[in-house]
Amino acid sequence: MLFLVRMDVNIPSDLPAAEAAEIKAVEKEYSQGLQRDGRWPHIWRVVGEYSNYSIFEVASNDELHDVLSGLPLFPYMDIQVTPLAKHPSDIN
């Protein structure tokens, strides 16, 4: 199952810089692990925003929920999920 996911990150300004940097480093590792195993095949920065658009390929809604709620930055994110279906005009 394919999903388009938008993540908007809002780290509170009172979070100590070292703590924020550590969370971002762990987030990067977590994200790249999912990219390597094929469940997070695309991630794109939204120009000018601390946001991304990503494509996830997972087996179920529950798996996507587990993946997203496991993001180290999850407590500081607003997340929008759009399930994707094959377009009838797609030639692939």
- Applying CB under 6 A, the residues found at the interface with ligand MUC are 7, 9, 27-28, 31, 52, 73
Q: CB of 8: closest distance to ligand MUC in angstroms?
A: 9
Using the minimum distance from each CB to ligand MUC, give the nearer residue, 11 or 63: 11
* In 12-76, beta strands by DSSP E: 42-45, 51-57
Using the minimum distance from each CB to ligand MUC, give the nearer residue, 32 or 91: 32
Q: Count of CB atoms within 10 A of residue 23's CB?
A: 17
- Collect all residues with Cβ–Cβ distance below 8 Å to 45 and sequence separation of at least 6: 51, 52
Q: CB of 90: closest distance to ligand MUC in angstroms?
A: 27
